[in-house]
């Protein structure tokens, strides 16, 4: 038999993006410690539905920690207290019986609350559209050994590419800055030869877009790195800075 715990939830409820929100308190009784955090919310929602109340809206999709859709701020920390873990992979065994959990949506000027805990992160999509890609012609598969890349470089690029775009970095940043996200996207492409031709244009365009979308500026607090479920390092932010300086002073445009 698995252990069960009783919790008190203080959840941010907001009927729509323009509506005024407030915290509502719910009891979450007999929660199995084997449940994930989202499964616990499912149980609470089922009970709310039975009572005829509006269930809590929250973002989720794969529930395997790889899609980047889920995420809420639990007791002041995005994705909750467990390091390198998305909210869907956070299990209730990390909480104690009688705990009170305050659950809030990501807070940022660039991320609007859609409903309750569901947040519009299309600002990230706009950033990707601005430069988070390479232009490649379709055609025959290129020869695999034509461009040699060292294992170390490939690993560094892969570490940056592990970003799932969940937005926890923005939520955790005291300045609501998107520098870790943009740093990861710029890095994964700047590190590889295929990304070099457009590197200067990409970094300038993405930083400009980031400012335009209303994200804050980085002040090297490193809170983003601490909450990132994929443990993306702030060395990627330094690489972004380096790429921008190089692009601004070195490129012809």
Partner 1 sequence: MNWIIRTLTCSVGKKLIMAVTGLSFCLFLVSHLAGNLTIFKGQKAFVSYAESLHSLGALILMAELGLLVLAIFHICFGIWLFVGNLGARPVGYAVKKNAGGRTLSSAIMPYTGLFLLVFIIIHLLTFHFADRGGKDVYNLVHTTFTKPGYVIFYLIAMIAAAFHVKHGFWSAFQTIGANHPKYMPVIKTVGLVFSLLVGFGFGCLPIYLSLS
Question: Which residues contribute to the site for partner 1 (CB under 8 A)?
Answer: 10, 12, 23, 73, 75-78, 102, 104, 107-110, 172, 174-177, 179, 207-208, 210-211, 214-227, 234-235, 237-245, 248-249, 253
Nearest approach, Cβ of 211 to partner 1 (angstroms)? 5
Q: Which is nearer to partner 1, 28 or 51 (CB)?
A: 28
Nearest approach, Cβ of 241 to partner 1 (angstroms)? 4
| SS3 state of residue 73 | strand
Cβ–Cβ under 8 Å, residues 173 and 223: yes
CA distance 109 to 245: 27
Calculate the alpha carbon distances from 121 to 68, 114, 251 in Å: 11, 10, 31
Q: Which is nearer to partner 1, 165 or 216 (CB)?
A: 216
Nearest approach, Cβ of 167 to partner 1 (angstroms)? 13
Cβ–Cβ under 8 Å, residues 188 and 195: yes
Backbone angles phi, psi at 156, to 5 degrees: -60, -45
Q: What residues does 7 pair with on adjacent strands? A: 28
Q: Which is nearer to partner 1, 4 or 241 (CB)?
A: 241
Nearest approach, Cβ of 245 to partner 1 (angstroms)? 6
Largest CA distance in the chain: 68
Q: Which is nearer to partner 1, 90 or 227 (CB)?
A: 227
């Amino acid at each position: 038999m698995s252990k069960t715990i009783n919790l008190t939830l203080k959840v941010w409820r907001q009927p729509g993006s323009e509506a005024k929100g407030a915290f509502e308190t719910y009891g979450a009784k007999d929660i199995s410690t084997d449940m994930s955090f989202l499964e616990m919310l499912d149980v609470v929602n089922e009970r709310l539905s039975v009572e005829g109340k509006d269930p809590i809206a929250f973002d989720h999709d794969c529930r395997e920690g790889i899609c980047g859709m889920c995420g809420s701020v639990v007791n002041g920390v995005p994705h909750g207290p467990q390091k390198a873990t998305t909210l869907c992979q956070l299990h209730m065994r990390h909480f104690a019986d009688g705990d009170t959990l305050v659950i809030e949506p990501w807070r940022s000027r660039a991320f609007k609350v859609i409903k309750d805990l569901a947040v519009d992160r299309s600002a990230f999509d706009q950033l990707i559209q601005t430069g988070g890609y390479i232009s490649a012609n379709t055609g025959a598969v290129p020869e695999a050994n034509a461009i040699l890349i060292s294992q170390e470089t490939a690993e560094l690029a892969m570490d940056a590419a592990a970003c799932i775009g969940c937005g926890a970095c923005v939520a955790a940043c005291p300045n609501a800055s998107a520098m870790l996200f943009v740093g990861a996207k710029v890095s994964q492409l700047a590190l590889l030869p295929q990304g070099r031709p457009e590197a200067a244009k990409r970094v300038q365009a993405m930083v400009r877009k980031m400012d335009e979308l209303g994200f804050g500026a980085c002040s090297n607090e490193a809170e983003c790195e601490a909450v990132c479920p994929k443990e993306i390092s702030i060395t990627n932010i330094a690489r972004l800075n380096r790429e921008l300086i190089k692009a601004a002073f070195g490129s012809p445009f």
